[in-house]
C-alpha cells in the first residue's frame, strides 16, 4: 500500500497547533476545498465520509437536488466499509486515515500550501480539562474576517468552548490489556477487538473501541454520533488519528503487546479505498503494522506511555522456560432473568448468580486470581446514540452496614452504532452490539468492604453526556438482551 516513497510525515498534537500556515490552518483550507468537489469524486469530502458510512439519500445531510451520484455498484464496493466490533477496527481505520491524509495533503498543495502535510491528533486524555474540550479551531462558525469556518459544524452537542469530555470517558485502561484480539463471548474482547471476518457494525466492542473511541463520538454529538455521518465532521479525523496513535502507544509500551500473527488477520481480508488521484488502493492488515511504511509513511510526535511503563519481564533462566497452559475459557456464573429496557432516566436491575457455577469457576485454576467480566449483550434500539455510566453494587438490605454505600463505577455503555447494528437486514441480522466491562477489582471490593455473599449483583445505568451539555430532547430507547457475569 506504499506509493512513491517520500519523507515520513510527523503527526502533531493539535494542542500545539493553531498558528497561520501550520498543519491545522491548512487542514481547514483543504477541507473547504474538498467540500466543493462532487459526491461522485472519490477525493471529495462527501464521498470520503460515505466510505465510513452512508445514511442513504433520504438521510444525507448535504444532499443536493438533481445531483449525480456514484453508481449502485460503486457504492456497494466502496461505501459503508468501516470496520467495527472486530480485530480489523484499528488496521482498517489506519488505512482509511492514511488515504485521507494523502488526499488532504494533495489539496493543501492545490490550495497553495506546502508539501508534506500531516494529520493532527486530538489528545483528549492528556489529563487536563483543556485537553478534553473541543479544540478551539472547531468551536466558532467563523474565522478572522468573518469567513465561514470549514472546521465548524452545526448540531454538535459539544458546541460551546466550555463543554468537556468527562475524564472517565477518555480513560486509557484499555492500554493495560496485552491481548490484542480477545473473545466475543464472556471474557475480555482484547485491546483491538475480537476475531471476526469483515464487520461493518454488529458484535462485541474491543476495549479501545469502547473507551475512549465510542464515548468521544457520542459526547461530541451531532453527525459524529452516527457512524453513517460521523466522517462528515472534521473532528472525526483528528479523533481517529488519536485512536491510531494509541495503538502505537500500546504497541511500544511493552514487549508483550504484539499485533496478531494469524494469517486471518494479516492477509485474510482485503480492503479497498482510493488515493489522491482517485485510483483504487488495496490493502490488508499486514501492511498496517509499521506506520512509516503505510502509504507515504508517518509517525507521531509523542507516543510516550501515559500510564507509566509496565514492569520489565524477569531475566531469562538458563533452564528451558516453562510455557504456562492457557487459562480455561470464561465461565458463565450469572445472568439477568430478562431483557433490560434503557430509557432517559436511571435504570436498575440485577443479576442472579449461579452459586455452583461460581464456585467451580473460582476453583478451576488454583492460585490464579479469577477475572470477572460484566457482559451487556445484544444492545439494540432505533434511537440516536447515547452513553450510560454503569454501576454495580450489592442489593441494599434495610439496616445493613452497607445500606448507604455508593455504587461502584464499572465502566460505560455507549450505543454508538447500535441503531445501525439493530437493522434486521444487516449482516448480523439485527443482533446489536455487545460491550464487556471487566469488574474484577469491583467484585473484590464487594467481598472485602460490603460482605457480599455472591448471591445477587445489582447493576445500574445512568445516562451521561459531556460536561456542560444539556440533556438531548430526543428520547432514548434501547434494550439489553441479557446482562451476564463471566468468571475466567
Rounded Cα–Cα distance for residues 273 and 102 (Å): 12
Structural domains in the chain, CATH included, are 9-59+72-300 (1.10.1280.10), 331-487 (2.60.120)
At 274-287, the pLDDT tens digits run 999 999 999 999 99
Total residues found in the chain within this entry? 488
Q: Which among 97-101, 253-257, 392-396 has the top mean pLDDT?
A: 97-101
Give percent of the chain above pLDDT 70. 93
The predicted structure's pLDDT at residue 344: 84
The predicted structure's pLDDT at residue 364: 86
Predicted TM-score of the model (pTM):
0.94
Whether residue 313 is predicted with pLDDT greater than 60 in this model: the reply is no
Rounded Cα–Cα distance for residues 221 and 385 (Å): 8
Q: Which residue has the cell 483528528?
A: 238
At 440-474, the pLDDT tens digits run 999 999 999 888 999 999 999 999 999 999 888 77
Q: Kind of pairing, strands 408-414 and 478-487?
A: unpaired
Rounded Cα–Cα distance for residues 398 and 335 (Å): 24
pLDDT class of 320 with cuts at 50, 70, 90? very low
Across all residues in the chain, what is the average pLDDT? 92
Whether residue 179 is predicted with pLDDT greater than 60 in this model: the reply is yes
Q: What is the mean pLDDT of residues 185-207?
A: 96
**The three cell numbers locating residue 63:** 444532499
Whether residue 60 is predicted with pLDDT greater than 90 in this model: the reply is yes
Rounded Cα–Cα distance for residues 388 and 367 (Å): 35
At 33-43, the pLDDT tens digits run 999 999 999 99
At 346-357, the pLDDT tens digits run 999 999 999 999
At 107-162, the pLDDT tens digits run 999 999 999 999 999 999 999 999 999 999 999 999 988 899 999 999 999 999 99
Q: Are 478 and 432 in contact (CB under 8 A)?
A: no
Amino acid at each position: 500500500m506504499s506509493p512513491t516513497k517520500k519523507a515520513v510525515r510527523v503527526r502533531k498534537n493539535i494542542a500545539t497547533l493553531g498558528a497561520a500556515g501550520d498543519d491545522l490552518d491548512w487542514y481547514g483550507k483543504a477541507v473547504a476545498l474538498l467540500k466543493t468537489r462532487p459526491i461522485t469524486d472519490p477525493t471529495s469530502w462527501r464521498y470520503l465520509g460515505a466510505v465510513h458510512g452512508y445514511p442513504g439519500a433520504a438521510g444525507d445531510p448535504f444532499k443536493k437536488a438533481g445531483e449525480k451520484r456514484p453508481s449502485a455498484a460503486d457504492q456497494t464496493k466502496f461505501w459503508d466499509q468501516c470496520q467495527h466490533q472486530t480485530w480489523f477496527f484499528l488496521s482498517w481505520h489506519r488505512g482509511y486515515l492514511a488515504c485521507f491524509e494523502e488526499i488532504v495533503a494533495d489539496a493543501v498543495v492545490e490550495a497553495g500550501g506546502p508539501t508534506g502535510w500531516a494529520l493532527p491528533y486530538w489528545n483528549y486524555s492528556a489529563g487536563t480539562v483543556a485537553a478534553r474540550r473541543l479544540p478551539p479551531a472547531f468551536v466558532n462558525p467563523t474565522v478572522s474576517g468573518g469567513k465561514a469556518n470549514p472546521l465548524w459544524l452545526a448540531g454538535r452537542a459539544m458546541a460551546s468552548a466550555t463543554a468537556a469530555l468527562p475524564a472517565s470517558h477518555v480513560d486509557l485502561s484499555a492500554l493495560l490489556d496485552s491481548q490484542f484480539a480477545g473473545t466475543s463471548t464472556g471474557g475480555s474482547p482484547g485491546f483491538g477487538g475480537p476475531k471476526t471476518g469483515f464487520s461493518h457494525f454488529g458484535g462485541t466492542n474491543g476495549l479501545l473501541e469502547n473507551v475512549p473511541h465510542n464515548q468521544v463520538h457520542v459526547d461530541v454529538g451531532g453527525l459524529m454520533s452516527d457512524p453513517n455521518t460521523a466522517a462528515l465532521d472534521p473532528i472525526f479525523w483528528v479523533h481517529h488519528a488519536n485512536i491510531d496513535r494509541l495503538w502505537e502507544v500500546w504497541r511500544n509500551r511493552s514487549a508483550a503487546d504484539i499485533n496478531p500473527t494469524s494469517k486471518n488477520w494479516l492477509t485474510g481480508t482485503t480492503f479497498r479505498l482510493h488515493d489522491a488521484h482517485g485510483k483504487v488502493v488495496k490493502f490488508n492488515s499486514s501492511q498496517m503494522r509499521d506506520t512509516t511504511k503505510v502509504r507515504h509513511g508517518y509517525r507521531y510526535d509523542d507516543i510516550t506511555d501515559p500510564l507509566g511503563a509496565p514492569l520489565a519481564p524477569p531475566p531469562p533462566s538458563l533452564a528451558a522456560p516453562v510455557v504456562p497452559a492457557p487459562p480455561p475459557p470464561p465461565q458463565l456464573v450469572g445472568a439477568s432473568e430478562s431483557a433490560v429496557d434503557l430509557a432517559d432516566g436511571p435504570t436498575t436491575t440485577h443479576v442472579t448468580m449461579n452459586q455452583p457455577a461460581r464456585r467451580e469457576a473460582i476453583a478451576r485454576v488454583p492460585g490464579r486470581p479469577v477475572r470477572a467480566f460484566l457482559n451487556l449483550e445484544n444492545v439494540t434500539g432505533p434511537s440516536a446514540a447515547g452513553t450510560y455510566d454503569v454501576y454495580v453494587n450489592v442489593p441494599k438490605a434495610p439496616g445493613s452496614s452497607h445500606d448507604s454505600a455508593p455504587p461502584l463505577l464499572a465502566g460505560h455503555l455507549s450505543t454508538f452504532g447500535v441503531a445501525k447494528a439493530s437493522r434486521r437486514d444487516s449482516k448480523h441480522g439485527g443482533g446489536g452490539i455487545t460491550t464487556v466491562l471487566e469488574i474484577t477489582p469491583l467484585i473484590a471490593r464487594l467481598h472485602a468492604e460490603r460482605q457480599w455473599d455472591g448471591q445477587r449483583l445489582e447493576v445500574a445505568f445512568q445516562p451521561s453526556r459531556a460536561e456542560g451539555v444539556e440533556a438531548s430532547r430526543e428520547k432514548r430507547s434501547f434494550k439489553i438482551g441479557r446482562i451476564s457475569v463471566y468468571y475466567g
